[in-house]
Amino acid sequence: MLTPRQNLLETIRGGHPDRFVNQYEFMGLVMGTPYSVRNPYPTKGGPNVVNAWGVTLSFPDNVPGGFPVHTPDKIVIKDIEEWQKYLKVPNVVYDAEEWEPFIAMAEKVDRTQQFVTNFIAPGVFEQCHYLLEIQNCLMSFYTNPDEMHELIDCITEWELAYAAEICKYIKPDAIFHHDDWGSQQSTFISPDMFREFYKPAYEKIYGYYKAHGVELIIHHSDSYAATLVPDMIDMGIDIWQGVMTSNNIPELIREYGGKISFMGGIDSASVDHPGWTEEEVRREVRRACDECGKLYFIPNASQGLPMSTFPGVYEALTKEIDAYSKEVF
Amino acid sequence: MSKIEEIASAVERGKAKLVPGLVEEALDEGADPVEILNKGMIDAMSVVGEKFKNNEIFVPEMLVAARAMKKGVEVLKPNLGGSSDVSIGKAVIGTVQGDLHDIGKNLVCLMIESAGFEVQDLGVDVPAEKFVEAAADPAVKIVGVSALLTTTMPAMKATVEALNAAPNRADFKVMVGGAPITQAFADEIGADAYTPDAATAASVAKAFVVG
């Protein structure tokens, strides 16, 4: 039996996996860094917090994650033309001893079994709209393209500095990087606009990780983004996690399998809801696996972490993927 | 190209600096202000909505087109003789309690406003009572309810139930939307319509009111 790490590589390299890769089993996630402990995140149902970038985040009890608050007084960059005046970029350089607990976390992962994987969120696009508010951000691509380029360059430089520290201390095998680029029906911005503003940023960031020992780039965007797949390949993404059914995944696999792999295929909303049932989970797992096949595909709910909103859904998916593997492998 | 066609083209392309001047020129040439609004702006935004629905344009293009229309309306308004002459009804729209997502709801507001409605945006995290209170206004023809999470679908159900129990329920239509919402769910909770995107929401709302 292949290890989760070997099985993942067989799956994404078009080899001979001995079962479906089961959701996040191949990732040994390292969720913290000295920076992240100084970057407060609200607790579920707890009070709002202001993070290291000055963004106010709220995490109501009944939602899957924190969310920026954008009442006019809470918007960090109030005027894109003066973004430098409003933005204070947080430090990422800390003493070696501060990294020790996170190095210990990475050392607990058996690298023959799993990929030591650093988790990074939000991404460059999300950071822009966290700071500006989403409509202001999207309008600014037209009204203030030069300033948007400057802001994106600034965030990219920060990401590169963070990447240098992560590679120095954790030496990860993989990066799991979040940045939602669309709704379930479309990308937020056109592919051309994406190529102009964000592709160069990610080529630098993912290029840096690849040049410093990172074997796998897993990018999360639980959205439609099929039109960006060629760009994802250019940017160095190995696995697109969160791929929703609206992307026509079987067609993407036929066209791009071997250059990139697709992790998802089960829309969280279709299984992770108040009235969820094991039968529904069984049906969705089998549909996704039958449609997408054994190579270049990892069955997984589109949510961006190994968890579900409603208790038991994630575990039910895991159990069903195992069960179906035994039937079809 | 007629002046009104020029206005429509400028609105579609989001040319906020051009539109006010073009509207002034059209008025100077004696064009009917209502026709400028309907043919030069509302029809243009409906083209924008269709293109958005078909993924030919994206959210930024839609936002700049709406901004361009707004600039034109500012010039046009004093010539329209009171907004009651041109508004086809009032729509109140919000995201349900516990849900902070606003971009989808904002796009619906923008498209419905561009289709000729007066819009009251209730914001995000809106309790059911606030929807009912807003819907009590006799001018309200459409109540739009948005939810972006499976966890807030129960809040949508509770909101639609509260609206369905309102004494003036026959006076307005309830429309629902958001990522996890389906036609089946809309039927189950007793909404009048589910629409999958902002452009369809605007055309369905308009059809409810003007037939």
In whole angstroms, give the CA distance from residue A45 to residue B63. Answer: 33
The whole-angstrom distance between A246's CA and the closest CA on chain B is: 12
Cβ of A184 and B179 within 8 Å?
Answer: yes
Contact between chains at A183 and B100 (C-beta distance less than 8 A): no
Contact at CB, B149 and A272, closer than 8 angstroms = no
Could you tell me how many CB contacts below 8 A there are between chain A and chain B?
75
CA distance B146 to chain A (A): 15
Q: What residues in chain A have their Cβ under 8 A from chain B's Cβ atoms?
A: 58, 60-64, 67, 69-70, 134-135, 138-139, 141-143, 183-190, 193, 268-269, 272-274, 309-310
Other C-beta atoms lying within 10 Å of the C-beta of residue A269? 23
pLDDT of residue B85: 57
Nearest CA in chain A to B101: A67
For residue A138, list chain B residues with Cβ-Cβ distance below 8 A. 59-60, 63
Asked if the model's pLDDT at residue A150 lies above 90, the reply is yes
Confirm if B109 and B145 have CB atoms less than 8 A apart. Answer: no
Q: What are phi and psi of A211, to 5 degrees?
A: -75, -10
* pLDDT attached to residue A48: 95
The DSSP symbol for B178 reads -
In chain B, what is the straight-line distance between the N-terminal and C-terminal CA atoms, in Å?
31
For residue A175, CA distances in Å to A10, A180, A283, B170 come to: 19, 16, 31, 55
Helix or strand run (H / E) with residue B90: strand B90-96
Q: For residue B83, is pLDDT > 80?
A: no
Nearest to A62 among B57, B98, B179 (CB): B98
Query: How many Å lie between the alpha carbon of B77 and the closest alpha carbon of chain A?
Result: 24
Q: What is the ipTM of this complex?
A: 0.91
Nearest of B205, B178, B200 to residue B189 by alpha carbon: B178
* Nearest-by-Cβ selection for B151 from A62, A70, A190: A62
Q: Where are the beta strands (DSSP E) in chain A?
A: 27-30, 49-50, 56-58, 67-68, 115-120, 174-178, 216-220, 239-243, 261-266, 297-301
Query: Tens digits of per-residue pLDDT, A98-148?
Result: 999 999 999 999 999 999 999 999 999 999 999 999 999 999 999 999 999
Task: Determine the average pLDDT of the residues in B204-209.
Answer: 95
Residues of B in contact with A183 (CB under 8 A): 104, 179
DSSP structure class, residue B39? I
**pLDDT tens profile A264-278:** 999 999 999 989 999
CB contact under 8 A, A269 and B152: no
Given B99, B101, B150, which is nearest A309 (Cβ)?
B150
CA distance B160 to B127: 11
What is the crossing angle of helices B43-53 and B3-12, to 10°? 30
The fraction of chain A above a pLDDT of 70, given in percent, is 100
Alpha-carbon distance of B143 to B169, in angstroms, equals: 10
List, as ranges, residues 88-107 from B with C-beta within 8 Å of A: 98-104, 106
Cβ atoms of A170 and A30 closer than 8 Å? yes
The confidence band for A160, taking pLDDT boundaries of 50, 70 and 90, is very high
Residue of A231, A26, A28 lying closest to A125 (CA atoms): A231
Residue of B108, B150, B152, B197 best to disrupt the A interface, most CBs of A under 10 A:
B150
CATH 3.20.20.210 fits A4-31+71-270+292-302, yes or no: yes
Mean pLDDT value of segment B28-51: 93
Bigger pLDDT: B84 vs B17: B17
The whole-angstrom distance between A59's CA and the closest CA on chain B is 9
> Is A274 in contact with B14 (Cβ distance < 8 A)?
no
Closest CA–CA distance from residue A130 to any residue of chain B (Å): 13
- Which residues on neighbouring strands pair with residue A297, listed in sequence order? A262
For the record, the structure tokens of B206 come out as 């308009």
> What pLDDT, on the 0 to 100 scale, is given for residue A61?
80
Check: CB of residue B41 under 8 Å from CB of residue B7.
yes
- CB spacing of A63 vs B152 below 8 angstroms: yes
CA–CA distance, A222 with B23 (Å, rounded to integer): 42
CA distances from B71 to A147, B74, B76, B173 (A): 23, 5, 9, 30
The dihedrals phi and psi of A54, each to the nearest 5 degrees, come to: 90, 5
Written as one letter, the residue type at B123 is G
Domains of chain B (ranges, CATH numbers):
3-82 (1.10.1240.10), 87-210 (3.40.50.280)
pLDDT band at B101 (very low <50, low <70, confident <90, very high): confident
- Cα–Cα separations (whole angstroms), residue A80 to A87, A128, B120: 10, 10, 28
Q: Does B123 touch chain A (CB under 8 A)?
A: no
Q: Does B151 contact chain A (CB < 8 Å)?
A: yes
B82 exposure class (CB count in 10 Å sphere: 0-12, 13-18, 19+): exposed
Which residue on chain A is closest to B102 by alpha carbon? A134
| Crossing angle (nearest 10°) for helices B103-114 and B43-53 | 140
pLDDT, one tens digit per residue, over A172-194 is: 999 999 999 999 889 999 999 99
